[in-house]
């Protein structure tokens, strides 16, 4: 996105070195979320972009993605679908393993969360190496949802996460 708004929002994000392990610079969005103007501006940017896209459900990825996805789904008058860590969803699920910049993990979604052909917007707070969102895309594809775009508050361009997502459109508000 770039521009003055992006820089204004970047100024509200706290950077924490060596978290969750040495060598990782963590972009803490809690400081942006706790700022009523910054949080509203963030949701407004997403809302303006997607309000006429006929989205059926906004898919939020655990955990910080839930915050943005729920507010956006409310504004867009759509459903909200959750992708969670294993063992957190009570019904039958489909699961996908993935690698991230500091380890491995798995995510899952209810097997009936998305109907074939349903228009889906995937939302998370951060695009880093692309492992988590790639796994989420694969889960939505497995359920035969139609992904309109993957949306992020922040993209760490230097980690080349987009390389894992050449088959989907990407939007990020802030890039580092």
Class at the top of the CATH hierarchy for domain 53-175: alpha beta
In tens, the pLDDT along 28-82 reads 999 999 999 999 999 999 999 999 999 999 999 999 999 999 999 999 999 999 9
C-alpha–C-alpha distance, residues 63 and 171, integer Å = 19
Active site residue 14: no
Is residue 159 within 8 Å of residue 134, measured between CB atoms? no
The whole-angstrom separation of Cα 68 and Cα 70 is 6
Q: Where are the domains of the chain?
A: 53-175
* From 62, 101, 111, 146, the catalytic residue: 101
64 among known catalytic residues: yes
pLDDT tens for each residue of 107-166: 999 999 999 999 999 999 999 999 999 999 999 999 999 999 999 999 999 999 999 999
Q: Exactly one of 64, 108, 134, 155 is catalytic; name it.
A: 64
């Amino acid at each position: 996105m770039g521009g003055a708004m992006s820089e204004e929002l970047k100024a509200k994000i706290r950077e924490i070195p060596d978290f969750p392990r040495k060598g990782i610079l963590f972009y803490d969005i809690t400081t942006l979320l706790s700022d009523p103007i910054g949080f509203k501006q963030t949701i407004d940017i997403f809302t303006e972009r997607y309000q006429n896209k006929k989205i059926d459900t906004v898919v939020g990825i655990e955990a910080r993605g839930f915050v943005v996805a729920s507010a956006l789904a409310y504004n867009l008058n759509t459903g909200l679908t959750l992708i969670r860590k294993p063992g957190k969803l009570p019904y039958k699920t489909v699961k996908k393993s993935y690698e991230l910049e500091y380890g491995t993990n798995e995510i899952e979604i209810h097997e009936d969360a998305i109907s074939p052909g349903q228009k889906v917007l995937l939302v998370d707070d951060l695009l880093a190496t692309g492992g988590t969102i790639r796994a989420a895309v694969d889960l939505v594809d497995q359920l035969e949802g139609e992904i309109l775009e993957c949306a992020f508050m922040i993209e760490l361009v230097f980690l080349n996460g987009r390389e894992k997502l050449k088959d989907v459109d990407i939007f990020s508000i802030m890039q580092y």
